[in-house]
Every structure is written in C-alpha cells, then in structure tokens.
Amino acid sequence: MVGLTIGLGVTYGPQPALFSELFEPRYRYSGASFSYAMGAVLGGGFAPLVATALYTPPARRCGPRSTWC
C-alpha cells in the first residue's frame, strides 16, 4: 500500500501542471476535464471487463446437485 501511495503521489503531483500546459487558456478547463475523463474511462472502464476475462472459477468440489460447497 505504501508503494502504491507513493506511486500515485508521483504521478498525480505534476498532472495539473501538465494539463494546464496542454491547452490554451480559453480551452484549458474543458480540455483538461475532457482529457482526464477520457483517461479515466479508457484506463478504468475496461478494468472490470479484463478482470472478468482473466477470472477462472475454482474447480467444483461438490456434486452437481449440491448447493453448499
């Protein structure tokens, strides 16, 4: 957890400065919010899909008529 927290701090620290330099002042707020939202959709939106595709259920140890395993 500590490593994850440090990694997030290192990446999220310079992000506002990067976003403010990417766009002209009149488009800055909408451009920054659009790019941040699209990054969240593309980066985090497919995570449940990938996790579901990678998940393999454990082998059933019960008989087919058993409801409690």
Residue 28, pLDDT score: 75
pTM given for the model: 0.39
Angle, helices 28-44 vs 15-22, to 10°: value is: 120
Percentage, residues of the chain above pLDDT 90: 0
